[in-house]
Amino acid sequence: MQIEVATVNAFTQNNSGGNPAGVVLAADNLNTEQMQLIATQMGLSETAFVSVSALADFEVRFFTPSDEVDFCGHATVAVFHLLYVQKILTPGSYSQLTKAGKLEVNIAADGSVDMQQQLPTFLQRFQAEKIAPMLGISSSVITDTGLPVVAISTGLVDLMVPVRSGSLDSVIANQPLIADFSRQHNLVGMHLFEFSAAKSLYSASCRNFAPAFAIDEESATGSASGALACYLATYHDCSATDFIFEQGRKMGASSRLSACIKRQEKAISSVRVGGQARFIDTVFIAP
């Protein structure tokens, strides 16, 4: 049995950069073991498997090379962009059933995708002195920002780590230490960010490390971008609602991710992340 797997670059910028995801559009007859095997063979940070659902327009499951995860932002963008370019879907609003819940996804007329995420859950805080050694930096690089190190989930739990502007690219991640720490504290990974220059298009530049799930670093992380938007709107600028993030610069794959939050009676009532995508190619894999 040969399974068709598309590769789609999500969160591209002018058709470059982005984070490639695998997409299987007809996964109804695949079991969990087969999905994991395909994802492992693909070797991408995530591969998404799309099936029929009685509760939503589609059921989508997400696998890293080593594990299944509840949700993936860039793979969601990849799935719905592919459905659009293959003319299976037209511009409009759709729903996907994931292990993080039933979530709305919008496709614009240009094929860009905008996705709903879970409302934020603010979890444990950590001291900079504990985090900095895993990143090859001094704790002052974190504490100089005046911002906390906090685990936040909008579908997946990532640790938000602010670093002094100009220091992001100098971070050298100790992958084994980050993997052990992430497993110990039930994190998917660490999402680092530095504020961009005042006249920059971007709100912040980011890096994401998730070695506990066989992802040393990825160039665009949709779930963490939603969490970062909630973080910034809570700890940095309570009036902010719209953000544009850059990720992947250090990897030579600069990606653009937009994020938007809404508030109701001061509480965050909506989290959405979106971006462009580009179909790359198709391969056939025997699970």
pLDDT for the residue numbered 76: 98
pTM: predicted TM-score of the whole model, two decimal places: 0.96
Q: Say whether both 96 and 165 belong to one domain.
A: no
154 and 267 share one domain: yes
> Do residues 13 and 54 share a domain?
yes
Segment 200-220 shows an average pLDDT of: 96
Same domain, 28 and 163: no
The secondary structure element, H or E, covering residue 129 is helix 128-131
Phi-psi region of 280 (alpha: psi -120 to 50; beta: other; left: phi over 0): alpha
Same domain, 133 and 16: no
Q: What is the CATH number of the domain that holds 155?
A: 3.10.310.10
261 and 230 housed in the same domain: yes
> Tens digit of pLDDT for each residue in 98-156?
999 999 999 999 999 999 999 999 999 999 999 999 999 999 999 999 999 999 999 99
Same domain, yes or no: 137 and 248: yes
Q: Are residues 243 and 105 in the same domain?
A: no
The string over 193-218, giving b where at least 16 C-beta atoms fall within 10 Å of a residue's C-beta and e elsewhere, is bbbbeeeeebbbbbbbbbbbbebebb
Looking at the structure, tell me whether residues 150 and 196 fall in a common domain.
Answer: yes
pLDDT band at 198 (very low <50, low <70, confident <90, very high): confident
Residue 200 has pLDDT above 90, yes or no: no
Residue with tokens 């936040």: 152
Claim to verify: residue 266 and residue 281 sit in the same structural domain? no
pLDDT level of residue 287 (50, 70, 90 thresholds): confident
Instruction: Let me know whether 236 and 254 are in one domain.
Output: yes
Model confidence at 197: pLDDT above 90: no
Asked if residue 259 lies in contact with residue 226, where contact means CB atoms within 8 angstroms, the answer is: yes
Exposure class string for 84-116: b at 16+ Cβ within 10 A, else e: beeeebeeeebebbbebeebbbbbeeebbbbbb
- Which pLDDT score is estimated for 31? 97
Residue 209 token pair: 């490390």
199 pLDDT band, cuts 50/70/90, is confident
Confidence of residue 226 (pLDDT cuts 50, 70, 90): very high
pLDDT at 167: 97
Show the domain range for 57: 3-115+276-285
Q: What is the pLDDT of residue 134?
A: 98
Number of domains within the chain: 2
pLDDT of residue 265: 87
21 and 104 part of one domain = yes
